[in-house]
Amino acid sequence: MYGVEDMLTAKARAAVEACGAASAAPRMERLAELASQWAADAGGHTVDTLAVRLIRAQTVAEAGDVLLCWELLREVAQDASRVLGRDHELTLRVRAAGSTHVAAAMAAAERKARADVARDMADAERKSRALIRDEHLRLAADTERVLGPDHPLSVSARRAAAAHTAGADRETADQDANRPAKPYASGSVSNHHVFPPARVFPSLEAFVSGYIAPIFPIDPSRDVHAWCPDWWRHPEAVVRLSAMWEAFEASGTEDPWAGLERWYRDADLHLAELRDPVSGTFSRCSPTHGHTEATAAMPTRPAPPELLRLPAFCVNADATDADVVPDVRRLVFESTEEFVVLYIASVFQSAPDDAERAWCPEWWRHAQALSRFTALWRSYEAHHADGSISDWLLYCADPHLRSLRAPDSGPFSRCSATLGHDGTLIEMPVNPPPPGFTCDERGTLMLIPPSLLADDAG
C-alpha cells in the first residue's frame, strides 16, 4: 500500500505480518490496539503508529467499508500533518491513499443518505397518521360525551376514527410481515419517495471558499466591503450563508432557467447585511488583519410568565398535562420568548456601543416588539418547514428588525442594551371621532351628516 511497509521499524513490521494471517475483522482490531498502545507508550503519535493506522484503514477497505476507510484516512492525514508536517513522506502517502477511496466513499455516503432520508420520511408519515388517528379518537369520545352517541356529529366522528384506526392497523400488519409501504397512491407516483439531487457543494465551508469568496471579490485598500476571514465565528453569517447555500443548491432544480438570476438578487441583499462597512456583521473585522471579537449576543431578561403564557405567544398554553394537541408540524421553538432568546438575540448580535442598532433587554415591555416577534416566530416556523429560510431572512426578519432596532425611530430607540429599558415613549394620543363617523366592514369611511342623525333621533 504505497510502500508504507518500507517505513516501518522491524518491531512494527513483525507485528503487522503477525496480524496478516488473521481474517479482516480480527486484523483490524489488532492493528487498532497496536496503534493505541504504541501511541500511549511513546506519549503521542509516531511514524510507526501512523503507518499501522494507515494499514488498518486499508484493511477496512478490503473488508468492504470504504466510507469508514476514508474517514480513518482523513484522521490519519490530519494527525500526520500535525505531527510530521504536510511535506513528510508518510503524510503524502496517506493523502494519496485517501484520494483513491474518495469517489467510492462519496458514493457510499450518498447511498447511506438516501436510505436515511427514506427511513426518516417513512417515520414522519407514520407519526403524522398516528396523530390524525388519535385526534379522531378524541373527537369521537368528546362528541359522544357532550352530544350523545346518536348525534350526527358523534356518528360521523366514530366512522372517521374507525377508518383511521383500520388504516393504522393495516400498516402495522404490513410492517410485521416485512412488507414495504406502497410507493403509489391512487394510481400516481408519490413525490415522497423521490430522492434529492446531488449537491454542487458538499458543505457550507466548500460553498463559501469555492463560490462566495471568488465570485464576490473585495478591494482591501478601499473601505467599501467589510469581510472576516473567520466568517464562521459570526452566528448571523453562518445563518445567512447557510441559507444562501441551500437556496443556491435549489435554484438549479426548482427553476433551471431563472433560478440562478433570482438567487443573485437575494445574494446581493444578504451580502449587503454582512459586508456593509458601517453596520454590517463584519464591520468590526478586516480582510487583512482578521477577526475582531467586538460583538456578543444581545442581552435579554426573563418576561413575566403570565404574559407569555397567553395562547397568542406560546404553543399549547392552555393545555393540561393530559391534553395532547396534535400538530403534524414540528416546531423549532415553542414560544415567542424562546424564539427571541435562543435565536434572535443569539444570531443577530451587536456590539455594546453599537449606534446603528437599538435594543432593549426587556423587549417584551414594548407592545410593538412583542407583536412583531410573535409574527416573526410564526413565520419562521412556516419557512423552516418549507426550507425557505433565505426568503424569511430577507423579506421577514430584515424589514422587521430594521423597524424595531432603528436608533432614532424604533420602539427601542430610548433603551440601551447595557442600561436597560427606558419608558419615555408613550402611546399615540387619540381623540373621539365626530358624530356620524363610521366605517363599514371593509374599512370604507362613511360620514353621516349630523342633520340625518338628528332626524333619526326625532
How is the chain split into domains, by residue range? 4-106, 204-275
Which residues on adjacent β-strands are paired with residue 437? 447
Per-residue model confidence as pLDDT tens digits over 226-255: 999 999 989 899 999 999 998 888 887 777
Segment 21-33 shows an average pLDDT of: 63
* Residue that is written with C-alpha cell 457543494 in the block: 201
Q: Taking the complete model, does pTM exceed 0.85, yes or no?
A: no
Q: How many Å apart are CA 344 and CA 373, to the nearest integer?
A: 9
Helix (H, G, I), strand (E, B) or coil at 438: strand
pLDDT of 61 above 90: no
Q: How many Å apart are CA 110 and CA 199, to the nearest integer?
A: 10
Please calculate the CA angle 211-216-219 and round it to the nearest 5 degrees: 135
Per-residue model confidence as pLDDT tens digits over 380-438: 998 888 888 999 999 999 999 999 999 988 999 999 988 899 988 888 887 777 776 66
Per-residue model confidence as pLDDT tens digits over 178-212: 444 433 233 333 333 334 456 788 888 888 988 89
Element (H, E) at 159: helix 152-176
- Give the pLDDT score at 272: 92
- Give the pLDDT score at 195: 42
Per-residue model confidence as pLDDT tens digits over 273-330: 999 998 899 998 988 888 998 888 888 888 877 766 665 566 554 444 444 444 445 7
Contact 101, 69 (CB under 8 A): yes
* Residue that is written with C-alpha cell 410573535 in the block: 374
